[in-house]
Structure 1
């Protein structure tokens, strides 16, 4: 992923990093405590683990930290859609040899897709 502000290539987020990014994208800039509380709604995550992970993400350039207040606020560097687009491109290229239609055929054959979702896809097409 490319950091638009510096032009540098950002590392691809790990699964744990994506979980943190999902919280920040949904709720906006947040403290480690808030992110940890949100993660704990899904699974048991230690506060110090979340803190360390977010510090590493800051070092990698995935997050930036606002230190102007008493509590440090963490902010994603890249927008949600840009990150997801880049991850999807890599996924399609790696698993489907660059063929979005192969991916769509597998998705449409998946029993988890609802009739409403199929109708929404038809409208997009």
Structure 2
């Protein structure tokens, strides 16, 4: 049985690119650059190189369409978020979900609607654990 290696952890700059692609879908380097350049000062060739490296790392897929390369995320947003959250949970909180949640909620104002959503998620997790 072949063990599949996990996708590499994206850097902050790579996450900027992934967010654009998750929001827009498959896009050319020019399209991604136009969005990212609106957020921070970055050159086209820098975005091109980052996307080429991300493709090599397995973070992006690439296909040729009308003589342009169109890039797309290799993983859905939710899978990447779960992996990053899991890493943070282990590295910063020693695997304690309670400590993570306490820190997240203590650090900012949370409205009643968001608290209700968190309670509902906790109820779902509890039901899954009992079944």
Give the TM-score of the pair, scaled to structure 1.
0.86
CA RMSD of aligned residues (A): 1.7
1:105 aligns with 2:102: yes
Unaligned runs of 5+ residues in structure 1 are: 1-5
Q: Kindly state the Cα deviation for residue 70 of structure 1 after the two structures are TM-superposed.
A: 1.5
Unaligned runs of 5+ in 2: 123-131
Q: How many pairs align?
A: 120
Deviation at 1:45, TM superposition (A): 1.3
**CA-CA distance at 1:12 after TM superposition:** 1.2
Give, in whole Å, the separation in 2 of the partners of 1:108 and 1:95. 15
User: Normalized per residue, which structure has more helix?
Assistant: 2
In terms of mean alpha carbon deviation, does 105-114 or 57-66 score higher? 105-114
Q: Are 1:107 and 1:113, in contact at CA under 8 Å, matched by a contact in 2?
A: no
Separation of aligned partners in 1, 2:5 and 2:64: 23
- Flag the structure with larger Rg: 2
| d(CA) in 2 for partners of 1:68, 1:35 | 16
1:40-77 per-residue CA deviation (whole Å, 9 max, x = no partner) reads: 22111111100000011111111111114211100111
